[in-house]
Amino acid sequence: MTPTLYHPENASYRPCFGGQSECFLSAAQTKGWLSAWYMLIPPDNGPPMHIHHREDEILIVMEGRFAFHAEGRWIEGGPGMAVYLPRERPHSFRNVGSTTGKICVLATPAGLESFFSQCEKPFHRPDGPDMETITSIAEEHGIEFV
């Protein structure tokens, strides 16, 4: 592996489930060990409750205020708050602030970034998200909506 430098001024955010994401470390760059990206999430937005069967996640609040649900409870926090979410545990999060928030997502092993890129088209359809296709893509990536 070679060192990788990420420069935010070169960011290329892509639509992602109502927000935007920017992958800055992919499976190819880390030989499958880690993937990392930033997500810009509008107020009152976040994923449904879900389980990752393949990877652990760390979510770090960079900007805004978020609520995280894990182990049957919600916890809120702002910039600097970090949450470790081990695989096989149901979890969710929401932007509970009044402005677009930013989180950094780290996932190990890598590969979760391909889920987001494959869901871009079925999520952003003129007639609304194609949840059947998104659910199928999720299952292929070891993600279960609960």
**pLDDT tens profile 77-122:** 999 999 999 999 999 999 999 999 999 999 999 988 888 888 888 8
Say what the pLDDT of residue 12 is: 81
Block residue for tokens 């990752």 = 52
Residue 129 lies in a domain: yes
119 lies in which domain range?
12-145
Distance between CA atoms of residues 35 and 108, nearest Å:
7
Dihedral (C-alpha) 22, 28, 29, 30: value to the nearest 10 degrees?
110
Q: How many domains would you assign to the chain?
A: 1
- Mean pLDDT (whole number) for 45-59: 95
116-141: pLDDT as tens digits: 888 888 888 888 888 899 899 999 99
Distance between CA atoms of residues 31 and 137, nearest Å:
22
Residue 7 lies in a domain: no
pTM for this one? 0.90
Q: Any idea what the CATH number is for the domain that residue 19 is in?
A: 2.60.120.10
Distance between CA atoms of residues 78 and 65, nearest Å:
4
Position 15 pLDDT exceeds 80: no
